[in-house]
Structure 1
Amino acid sequence: MELVVYLAGQIHDDWREQFRNKIKEKGFPIQTVGPQENHDRSDEIGELIKGTQPNAIYRDEAASQMNNLRTTVLMNKADVVVALFGSKYKQWNTAMDAATAIQMGKPVILVRSEEFHHALKELSNKSQVVVETLDQAVEALAYILE
């Protein structure tokens, strides 16, 4: 059995690459999908497809449409969603993706430090599993594959 795992969260660091390396090292049959990881491409895609927009608000709207399309399609294909809340960046996209996954009936593994317990208590309560590290998320997936 191969799992498709959607990796939800900020795109400003290499946490997805770390996650992919961990599952590769263990030889797990897991395919990962997720948002566009090239931040510039993510911001520019709306204008690349729809043409130049009249101002920054419309530019952001056009990009959001394309990024939401990507998220919806790939999350629908996912068996599990891993949503990482890091400490460095604002986590609006992670929260939105985790909530969307829950609404879609997708199992969610929420990765967050103890310091975010209170702020994320509702998402934590609706997630199937809450862990503090990527290693723990990988081990939760390993349990599915036993």
Structure 2
Amino acid sequence: MKLTVYLAGEIHTAWREELTDKVRTLDLPIDFVGPMTDHDKSDNIGEIVLGEQVDAIAKDEAASQINNLRTQLLMKKSDLVIALFGEKYKQWNTAMDASAAISLQKPLILIRPQALHHPLKELSNKANVTVETVNQALKVLAYVFE
């Protein structure tokens, strides 16, 4: 059995690389997909496709449409979603992706530090598993294949 895992969460730290490297080390049969992690490309994709927009709001709207399409397609094809909430960045996209996974009835592993327990309690309650670290999520993935 091979799984496709959508990695939702902030794109400013190397948590995805940390997880994918550890999965490769364990030789788990997992393919990873996720949002566009090139921040500039994500912000500018609307203008790349549609040309220059009239203002910053129109630019954001054009990019959002394309990014949302990409997310929807990749998440629907995924077997599992892992959503990471870190302490440093505001993460509305992570919350949106985790909620979308729940709506799509995709199994969800939520990674969030203990400090975010209270603001994420309802979302955590809807996730299949809530952990505090990438290593704990890795252990859950490894357990699936035991």
TM-score bucket of the superposed structures, by smaller chain: over 0.9
Q: Give CA-to-partner distance per residue, 1:23-64, whole Å, 9 cap, x none.
A: 011111110000001000000101101111000000000000
Aligned counterparts of 1:106 and 1:144: Cα–Cα separation in 2 = 15
Aligned counterparts of 1:133 and 1:12: Cα–Cα separation in 2 = 16
Q: Give CA-to-partner distance per residue, 1:83-127, whole Å, 9 cap, x none.
A: 000111111111000001000000100000111111000100000
Q: Give identity over the alignment, percent.
A: 59
- C-alpha displacement at 1:10, in angstroms? 0.9
Aligned-residue Cα RMSD (Å) equals 0.6
Aligned counterparts of 1:139 and 1:73: Cα–Cα separation in 2 = 27
Amino acid at match of 2:92: W
Cross-structure match for 2:32: 32
Residue ranges of structure 1 left out of the alignment (5+ in a row): none
Cross-structure match for 1:133: 133
1:58-73 paired onto structure 2 within 5 Å:
58-73=58-73
TM-score by structure 2 length? 0.98
Aligned counterparts of 1:117 and 1:2: Cα–Cα separation in 2 = 32
Q: Secondary structure at the match of 2:81?
A: strand
The count of residues paired between Structure 1 and Structure 2 equals: 146
Aligned counterparts of 2:14 and 2:114: Cα–Cα separation in 1 = 21
1:48-87 paired onto structure 2 within 5 Å:
48-87=48-87
Amino acid at match of 1:64: S
Q: Secondary structure at the match of 1:106?
A: coil
Q: Secondary structure at the match of 2:111?
A: strand
- C-alpha displacement at 1:71, in angstroms? 0.3
